[in-house]
Amino acid sequence: MQGDMHTVITRMIKNMRFLGGAHVIVGGLNCLSIIGAIIGIPMLLSGLRLREAADNFDGWLDHEEGALLRALEKQGRFFSIQAIILIVGLVLTVLMLLFFGIALFAVIASEF
């Protein structure tokens, strides 16, 4: 059982490092524009938290004291930031759809 857990966590660590790095890169690219920075900065920070969580899980596998708690805290922070990004993205999408819907309605109404 212990060997299976070690294998699962090792695979999870690799995925967390990859996804964390991807979030850092995409967040950094988003930060190249002022409007993109609204989503880019939290994405970049969440990627850093995920990579830190992976490092702590790795430390836990090496029997480092307190590493599991730190890993779970960092991973929890990643999920919290992702939830905020999702909510902000959904709100901005709804606002954009409303704006374009109103603009389209105004154009159509002005034709009649």
The proportion of the chain whose per-residue pLDDT surpasses 70, expressed as a percent, equals 98
pLDDT of residue 35: 87
* Whether pTM exceeds 0.85: no
Q: Which residue would you say has higher pLDDT here, 88 or 70? A: 70
The stretch 70-81 carries a mean pLDDT of 96
In this predicted structure, the answer to whether residue 3 has a pLDDT above a threshold of 90 is no
Q: Is residue 63 part of a domain?
A: yes
Per residue in 10-33, pLDDT (tens digit) is 999 999 999 999 999 999 999 999
Residue 99 covered by a domain = no
Range of the domain at 18: 2-87
Please check whether residue 102 lies inside any domain of the structure: no
pLDDT recorded at residue 111: 82
Q: Is residue 101 assigned to a domain?
A: no
Could you report how far apart the first and last alpha carbons of the chain are, in Å? Answer: 73
Q: Is 112 helix (H, G, I), strand (E, B) or coil?
A: coil
Q: Count of domains in the chain? A: 1
- Closest-CA residue to 14 (of 49, 77, 58): 58
Quick check: is 48 in a domain? Answer: yes
Indicate whether 30 belongs to any domain.
Answer: yes
Write the CB contacts of 47 (distance below 8 Å, at least 6 apart in sequence).
Answer: 19, 20, 21, 22, 23, 24, 25, 26, 27
pLDDT at 2: 67
In a domain, 111, yes or no: no
Tokens linked to 55:
């490092």
Please check whether residue 95 lies inside any domain of the structure. Answer: no
